[in-house]
Structure 1
Amino acid sequence: MVTESNTTTRKGTCPVCGTFCHIVAHIDNDRVVKVQPDSESVLGHLCIRGVNGVEYHDHPKRMNYPLKRVGARGEAKWERISWEQAMDEIAAKLESIRDRYGPEAVLVLGGSPHGPGDPAAWKWCNLWGTPNFFHLGKNCGEAEFPVECAMYGYDTIAAWATFLNPEKTGVLIIWGANPSESQPRLWEGYKYSQSQGMKIIVVDPRPTTCAKAADLWLQLRPGTDGALALGMLNVIINEGIYDKEFVEKWCLGFDELKTLVQQYTPEKVSEITWVPADKIIEAARMYANASAAALTWGVANTHLGNRAGLSGVMGKCWLRAVTGNLDREGGQVFSTPPDYTAFLEEMNWDSQINHPLRTRDTVSADQQSIGSVKALVLYHEAMKRVYPKGWGAAQYFIYPSPHACWEAILTEKPYPIKAVFDQGTNTLCSIGDSRHAYEAFKSDNLELHVSMDHFLTPTGALADYVLPATDAMEHPTITNLWGMTGSEFGREAIVEPMYERKDDYQLWADLGKRLGQEKNWPDTLEGWLNKLLAPAGVTLRELAQTPGYFPVKEYKKYEKTGFATFSGKVELVPTVLQQLGYDPLAGYEEPPWSPISTPDLAKEYPLILISGSRVKEFHHSSHRQLEKIRKRYPDPVMEISPEKAEELGISEGDWAWVETPMGKVRQKVKLLEGMPPQVVHADGYWWFPEKEEAEPSLFGVWESNIDAIVPDEPGFSDYAGNSYFRGLLCKVYKD
């Protein structure tokens, strides 16, 4: 801590999203008055959201006290209660629900993380015995985890989410992601590497900043990612530019893959994707011939619906594998779990698998088995030879589908869900077919709904209890990306919590202590973080004084241990997926609604819709209260090509309707040069905090919220139950 004049400065964590950037805060009379990036930290960065962190932290609409509903759900009638009363009443209701319906009748929804709240929730669920929990990883590409881990027993999220050394990485493919908006710090690093010689290929239908800066831009038809990947594999395999030594020594199923890709010539794939055949060939050669290459994850690939999503993710995994880029320096480096801490012991996934009271799997286990206890067991068995304590990000093997959760509330099938917790989720603005979730939250079948957040949201407005959460300036934090990476960063709280805000950990600790879990919960978040760090021989305070911990870089770890699969090799036809009922070799399939798969529907809805791409100003549905940000980005935006807009009689700045077979919402028109005339993009996650809370307004949640008009039921949602946000059909007309 440093004192200058009358202002104290203290290092801490930015409060506005889950990126956990490091800041220096200026404090006057115990209030934060200014924030700036911590130039001494590798995480020292502030985006447009972060520079408004003070407004976020001290906003007049922040939740400051526990509230209990006294009117009907959505009526905006509340009474202030104490935290103790809230915990006592909630715990009593939970105990009653468990006695009558079993522990699985509780659903936990996690959201944009602002600290270690998600791991605390997973720990509580595993101790309680409910497998029904998921967080907004459902919108952030989490469905790539189980496919990667099935194929090669590791995930590679850490490979591209760090600085890429241009002396080692020859080519980077940014596929289905737009880091110039979603990860500005990362994009700056990519641009530097490109200036030093690294080539960038971008796969995206939209003319994004990344696409315009790319050395090669593959502007594909939305939803055809799987076909494009198979076309590139056709070139790589048939031209013999795959890594023969790696494939022969370490891969199983290559002959089956080779047979599959013969159907996908560059010419045929060009017809499917709109990408010229010569560009498909050029991209394949650039990627395969690079000394080392990386290929990003991308949220878009898991939003394509049904098998279209799986074929895209499988294709990307195959590309990484056959080119020998797995765990190669400069290539697709494997993540390593933080097993030098007690993280995995504290999560204790075995307690979920073997819980004495749990008798049922997730509510969607029979629909999307990749998110189930059955899947968790299979992955654990496949990976235990290399990771006997389990995988750091094991939560991604168990998440149920949102659709099945709402059905379990409304129909009580396959069994009832009677209680819901949402922490920072704002589910009505983050999940497809959000009216389905609304019906569930309003249902008399739901006996308990607890919302914990920084602000009252449309989702929280339907709750029975609303609890005020601290932000990252008010509580300590350690960062290991939810068990996904072995690096570890620690920061202490900058200021004491304001009003009666409590950290997310405290919710689960206080409930746990009331429900027979006393020995499992240290009294405070800092105490729990110290417990997590104890095996490393360091306390939170000590870690916070360091730049962080980085594991020693080690490449080709599989040469010592084999791959963390049943066979010990890369399974190009993954055993785990087959045992879960998926066909890895089914090849490309059109999205559920497309000009090809549903030509009659396309006559009425002739445009292809992409929705929910990231923008700098907002993190999912957050930050719409912030005055400076709303001045920059006041309204929901629909992007359309100038040619198509002229044809439809709409102009820049007009309000227009975007309509799908599920309904319509209203957004403001932005003309975008370079957008294919057959494609439109609609902003996601919109609500209006300035509008009335009580229904029918519900903060204007149904006015512009694209999530309300995209489907998420089986047959539309992807292989892991993610909503169908991209590559569907719509029509656009002037308001």
Structure 2
Amino acid sequence: MPESAPGTLGALSRKLASMSGNKVVLGACPLDCPDTCSWIVTVEDGRATKMRGNPDQPYTRGALCVKVNRYLEHTRADDRLLYPLRRTGPKGSGRFERITWDEALDEISTRLRRTVDEHGGEAVWPYNGTGSLGYLQGCEGVAGRRFWNVLGASKHWLNICSAAGSTGLHRANGTAGGMDPENFALAKLVLLWGTNTLTSGHHLWKFIQDAKAAGAHVVAIDPIRTRTADQADEHLAIRPGTDAVLALGLLNVVLAEGAQDEEYLAAHTSGWEDFRAEIMSYPVERVAEITGIPADAVHRLGTRLARTRPTAIRATMGLQRHAGGGAALRTLAAIPGVTGDWRHPGGGLAYSTSDHVKLNIDTRDDLLPAPARLRTMTRMASELPSVKCLFVYGANPLSSTSDTSRIRQQLQREDLFTVVMEQFPTDTADYADIVLPATMQTEHMDLHAGYGHLYLLWNEPATAPAGECLSTTETFRRLAAHMGMTEPSLFASDLELAEELLSSGHPSLEGVTLDRLRKEGWVRMNYPKPFAPFAEGFPTPSGRMRFPRSGEAYVPPYTAGKDGLTLITPAAHTFLNSTFGNNPELLRRAKNPVVLVSAADAAARGLTDGRRVRVHNASGEFLADVEISDRVAPGVVASPKGRWPKLSPGGGNVNAVVAERDADMGRGALYHDNIVELSPVEA
């Protein structure tokens, strides 16, 4: 095969492999990013010495991000957890003693059995997060779920990231899966809607650049003028939570232009007449008043949308983290239904490609001794009072979950037995009774699928685990043995689990074998290229897109009409959620926490550039330095997420002021829908 053939160990890889004493291992990034990069690790004498993006993989194209470029350094960090630990000081003190794995597993087994006997399985909460998106070791697949089912523990609903938007898209299209992001290269109009591509999934930008080179117009729609907005042809500073209104206003202009695709509407949609009436109730002037975008800008973009095929919309998870997040995604998905863009390669909406991944994920719910209680991730503060045993893995809720002040209060309870499986001493780990050391991605096997592309990727371990670290799958195998469980599926090897995942029989996996993945590192699933998923209909019972009914297209944000400042908590360029929040170099680059404030809002509060303030509301507070900026409009402030509270001034982070409230669909979190005030910190 030629050196550049997709799926082969390409020229660069072979050159590295031929160097004396070197071994090259193909792997994949596990982190919560749509790009799920393919990487190449060079190993010399058992030590990983170099990591780079795989140049042969069509989406990665040889590049990793500023965060993952430091991954090997991170695996060797001085604060890496290497051995099981038992708490010796007060909860939250971070004082532990080293113990053996047998001691740790014995204590965990005893406490789990006692909890189930005395309080029932619902008093046990396995709290799994997005620290890894692996189908073996991470939240996407089977890691630990069969064990918890045998025990009869509560079920964990991982709704923290994308639930509102996914639910809205399912109501519209029957699936959250949309267009292939690679097809953005074919678009003539690109709407980057509530997404900072260059920070949170920068590999898509190369396809957008291809579109721009062919004459496409790129518009960033975002409350913040991000680094992506700086590179777009146009930026519309929308008022947070009003995205559905802008969508309706743009469609109002489309109808005025007579540019709706009547053939597509008749053949592939339902509820059009009702939705058309809803669109007509949002003229441009009303839309401008609600969204804060000038009427002429709304009209100009609506006209461009009416006259430009194909139009591609990229909307990611930040867009739906407000009270009307589900309705917003449902209404955005209606745009290509009205214009007919769903029929064109390069047209439509891309939110998440996860629903196009058709692996066989069998968590064995038949192993449950009785129906299990469902516990909601974003309701941790409210759920914890009835929990007696908390087992946290792949998560750092004291940094990443809403209402962290109340969570911290609950974690201090002496009657709450807490186990944390971790790689580093996070704020959450400081409250554990037992800490279990976890492997990192270069030390275990895993199977991945990006939620921003259509590739499966295999991660082969490059090195032996550091210290006494164990993978998630091995930890649960050992814990099951310690508890005397005999269900055979609890002891399946990683390779057996991977074979099972690939055994769904779905046509998209035809020819995709474990042997092939391990040899080639990545394989594109069997979808056409270019891929227009809804050109001939939708996976709904009727086969048609379902437009919102009257009153369903827009749910106002919680902040609407309230006094104060609306806080946006975007992704940081240097952290990925709270991963890398302890990396010294990335912390240095991030500098002190800042809050972006418009000049008008700063002047009204007597604040000067660099002044330290309390950002506060009834839920809590955190400290940040004022950065007066025209990147936010009056009434809006922004402070990036991802900080570890114990490494931040005052010991807080942005989620201390995020209230525990639900979006309109999927009980999604409201990270961008909170009112705060700023008060100077006296020296």
TM-score normalised by structure 2 residue count: 0.86
Post-superposition shift, 1:75?
3.1
Corresponding residue for residue 554 of structure 2: 588
Match of residue 148, structure 1, among 166, 169, 187:
169
Corresponding residue for residue 347 of structure 1: 362
Corresponding residue for residue 517 of structure 2: 543
Query: What is the correspondence of 1:278-297 to structure 2 with a 5 Å cutoff?
Result: 278-297=296-315
Q: Distance in 1 between matches of 2:615 and 2:566?
A: 11
**CA, structure 1 residues 680+33, in 2 after alignment: closer, same or farther (shift >3 Å)?**
same
Post-superposition shift, 1:708?
0.6
**CA, structure 1 residues 300+330, in 2 after alignment: closer, same or farther (shift >3 Å)?**
same
* Residue type of the alignment partner of 2:445: P
- Can you list the C-alpha shifts for 1:119-167, whole angstroms capped at 9, x where unaligned? 12374355655563144x613x34211221222112235x36x33353x
Match of residue 429, structure 1, among 380, 383, 399:
399
Matching of residue 132 in structure 1 with residue 155 in structure 2:
yes
Post-superposition shift, 1:181?
0.9
For the 8 Å contact 2:398–2:428, the answer to whether it is kept is: yes
Corresponding residue for residue 494 of structure 1: 462
For the 8 Å contact 2:74–2:583, the answer to whether it is kept is: yes
For the 8 Å contact 2:184–2:207, the answer to whether it is kept is: no
Post-superposition shift, 1:533?
3.6
Corresponding residue for residue 609 of structure 1: 567
Match of residue 511, structure 1, among 479, 499, 516:
479
Q: Distance in 1 between matches of 2:466 and 2:177?
A: 39
Matching of residue 12 in structure 1 with residue 27 in structure 2:
yes
For the 8 Å contact 1:16–1:53, the answer to whether it is kept is: no
Match of residue 553, structure 1, among 527, 532, 552:
527
Q: Secondary structure at the match of 1:544?
A: helix
Matching of residue 710 in structure 1 with residue 680 in structure 2:
no
Corresponding residue for residue 86 of structure 1: 104
Corresponding residue for residue 121 of structure 1: 143
Q: Distance in 2 between matches of 1:361 and 1:179?
A: 38
How many pairs align? 648
Corresponding residue for residue 528 of structure 1: 497
**CA, structure 1 residues 174+338, in 2 after alignment: closer, same or farther (shift >3 Å)?**
closer
Post-superposition shift, 1:548?
2.2
Query: Comparing 199-208 with 120-129, which one deviates more in the overlay?
Result: 120-129
Corresponding residue for residue 112 of structure 1: 131
Match of residue 731, structure 1, among 677, 680, 683:
677
* Residue type of the alignment partner of 2:155: N
Post-superposition shift, 1:59?
0.5
Post-superposition shift, 1:700?
5.1
* Residue type of the alignment partner of 1:707: N
Q: Which runs of 5+ in 1 are unaligned?
A: 364-399, 574-582, 689-697
* Residue type of the alignment partner of 1:469: A
Post-superposition shift, 1:235?
2.6
- Can you list the C-alpha shifts for 1:32-88, whole angstroms capped at 9, x where unaligned? 233222222233322111221221011010111111224432233322222233334
* Residue type of the alignment partner of 2:252: N
Corresponding residue for residue 267 of structure 2: 249
For the 8 Å contact 1:109–1:420, the answer to whether it is kept is: no
Post-superposition shift, 1:658?
1.7
Q: Secondary structure at the match of 1:155?
A: coil
Q: Distance in 2 between matches of 1:451 and 1:538?
A: 35
Matching of residue 568 in structure 1 with residue 513 in structure 2:
no
Q: Which runs of 5+ in 2 are unaligned?
A: 1-15
For the 8 Å contact 2:167–2:326, the answer to whether it is kept is: no
For the 8 Å contact 1:509–1:521, the answer to whether it is kept is: yes
RMSD (Å), alpha carbons: 3.0
Q: Secondary structure at the match of 2:182?
A: coil
Q: Distance in 2 between matches of 1:26 and 1:672?
A: 43
**CA, structure 1 residues 258+16, in 2 after alignment: closer, same or farther (shift >3 Å)?**
closer
For the 8 Å contact 1:179–1:187, the answer to whether it is kept is: yes
Post-superposition shift, 1:487?
2.7
Post-superposition shift, 1:283?
2.1
For the 8 Å contact 1:487–1:551, the answer to whether it is kept is: yes
For the 8 Å contact 1:110–1:134, the answer to whether it is kept is: no
Q: Distance in 2 between matches of 1:586 and 1:79?
A: 55
Matching of residue 277 in structure 1 with residue 321 in structure 2:
no
Match of residue 420, structure 1, among 390, 396, 399:
390
Corresponding residue for residue 621 of structure 1: 578
Q: Secondary structure at the match of 1:347?
A: coil
Q: Distance in 1 between matches of 2:370 and 2:189?
A: 48
* Residue type of the alignment partner of 1:685: G
For the 8 Å contact 2:572–2:642, the answer to whether it is kept is: no
**CA, structure 1 residues 153+510, in 2 after alignment: closer, same or farther (shift >3 Å)?**
farther
Q: Distance in 2 between matches of 1:509 and 1:572?
A: 47
Match of residue 408, structure 1, among 371, 376, 383:
383
Query: What is the correspondence of 1:378-389 to structure 2 with a 5 Å cutoff?
Result: none
Q: Distance in 2 between matches of 1:327 and 1:92?
A: 58
TM-score normalised by structure 1 residue count: 0.81
Post-superposition shift, 1:327?
6.0
Post-superposition shift, 1:356?
5.3
Query: What is the correspondence of 1:313-328 to structure 2 with a 5 Å cutoff?
Result: 313-326=329-342, 328=344
Q: Distance in 1 between matches of 2:486 and 2:295?
A: 60
